[in-house]
Structure 1
Amino acid sequence: MGGRVKGDVLIDIGSGPTIYQFLSACEFFKEIVATDYIDQNLEELNKWLKKEPGAFDWCPVVKYVCELEGDREKWTEKKEKLRERVKQFLKCYMIQSQTLDPISFPQADCLLSTYCLELAANLPTFQQSLKNLNGLLKPGGYVVLVTALKGNYYMVGDQRFSLLFLTQEEVEAALEKAGFIKEKSEVILHHYSRANTDNDGVLYFVGRKTK
């Protein structure tokens, strides 16, 4: 996430109950806004940030990210920095024009979304969600999207959830139509166990909102 993608406010769309996506971002943004449409996910995030009993232990992941960044020993410092950076937990409604209604605040410098938007019911809904998110970002701001390609399902334990089958071309066309200019796009042919998901690769997209 580093380098030129930085600023004051980052909004994460569909945070889930996880923090891994913030571990590098907290070095480049002063404020992180976590959002999700499931209350339990936001509650789990809040539990970790407040160091409450029973919170998931993210220490191994934090140490691994610090090692990738070149200094494994700073993992304790990074945990506290992240706790300081995450300022808000908000419900998001991606299929509504007022995505974070009724909350309003200045437009963000960056929108981040990892493995979220491909849960849309169909391609028009996926396209409309991207258009709705456009309003959260300031002109010239960055969008960073990580999405599974050509998948039909994923598993959480014994629960099976549907994925929208998306190609790279469909995702990039939807982003362009929503007002985002591509700066970098890369497909990683990463395969998970077919017992967990059947997607065929992951798209990493970095773009900017048109001015």
Structure 2
Amino acid sequence: MDSNALKNYHIHDCDSRQMLEHYFSCNQDMVFEEDLLKFPIQNFRKTFELGHIKGDILVDLSVGSIIHHLYSALEFFKHIIVLKIKDRCMLELKRWVDTRTGAFDWCHAAQLHADIEGKSYEVQDKEGKVRSALQHVVKFDPEKENITEPIDLPPADCIISAWLLEAISKDKEDYVKYFRKFSKLLKPGGHFIFVGTLEGTYFKIHKEKFHVLTYDEEFVRGVLVGEGFTIDYCDVFRRTVISDLVDFKYVIFIAAHKEK
């Protein structure tokens, strides 16, 4: 597939609400529950329960307006700072935080978390805690040296990046460049948690196709090690469904820490 024919997530208009409906909703025709909801949620819970990833500040740099990966982090960080490239994503997220009419329904994600923890009775409590935590949403530009300019963020104890690096990188050199900029937000010894899709080339929103960088597990491991990280945990999950919305083959979850 000619990547020049595809749109770029961070450059072209992208319907953030439809992205949620296609890939992260509880709609009957949403087929990615195992791949894009359960697999990450299970690994986030497993990783945070170990107890060594915690601190004052968590920074999230993830695609679209997703929040389902943040539930497990609440009890381990005092502050969560969400960075978004697009105004539409920020507005969609704020609509949910403010419980406005027509906001995307994330109850199914809260239920998945509660079920995994064996605490199904805490669904509403979890949603309230996430809403309270998401008060710091900042726009960023990945092309700037300080991506949050003119704001200087305090050093983070942990960064989460889910499905964003592959969406904004036109090639592997771009991927390394953006990863380096993201990781500069970490304090020495900080942790980087990464979720991505392997061996994909595109994703669809409506009939529009957006570019996804093709890479494999060996590549992303090499980037982490090359930038001074030690990989603490890695899990790779084979795609379970066939859909022409997206063509990835695996989902990968990696937790790593930056050497001091």
Provide the TM-score with structure 2 as the length reference.
0.77
Mark the CA change 1:65 to 1:55 in structure 2 (over 3 Å): closer, same or farther. Answer: same
Q: 1:155 aligns with which of 200, 204, 213?
A: 204
Q: Which residue pairs with 1:194 in the alignment?
A: 243
> How many percent identity over aligned positions?
29
Distance apart, 1:15 and its partner CA? 4.7
Q: Which residue pairs with 1:38 in the alignment?
A: 86
3-state DSSP class of the match of 1:57?
coil
Q: Which has the larger share of strand?
A: 1
Q: Is the 8 A contact 1:191 1:199 kept in 2?
A: no
Give the ranges of 4+ consecutive aligned residues of structure 1 lying more than 4 Å apart after TM superposition. Answer: none
Higher relative contact order (CA 8 A, sep 6+): 2
Higher deviation after alignment, 63-72 or 13-22: 13-22
Distance apart, 1:177 and its partner CA? 2.1
3-state DSSP class of the match of 1:197?
coil
Listed as ranges, the gaps of 5+ residues in structure 2 are: 1-43
Are positions 1:107 and 2:107 aligned together? no
Q: Is the 8 A contact 2:81 2:138 kept in 1?
A: yes
Q: 1:24 aligns with which of 69, 72, 76?
A: 72
Residue identity opposite 2:198 in structure 1: L
Q: Deviations over 1:28-71 (max 9, x none)?
A: 22211111111100111011111112111111221222111110
Alpha-carbon distance between aligned partners in 2 of 1:61 and 1:186, rounded to the nearest angstrom: 20
Q: Which residue pairs with 1:185 in the alignment?
A: 234
Q: Is the 8 A contact 1:192 1:198 kept in 2?
A: no
Residue identity opposite 1:89 in structure 2: V
Aligned length: 211
Distance apart, 1:94 and its partner CA? 2.5
Residue identity opposite 2:73 in structure 1: A
Mark the CA change 1:185 to 1:179 in structure 2 (over 3 Å): closer, same or farther. Answer: same
Q: Which residue pairs with 1:12 in the alignment?
A: 60
Listed as ranges, the gaps of 5+ residues in structure 1 are: none
Alpha-carbon distance between aligned partners in 1 of 2:63 and 2:198, rounded to the nearest angstrom: 19
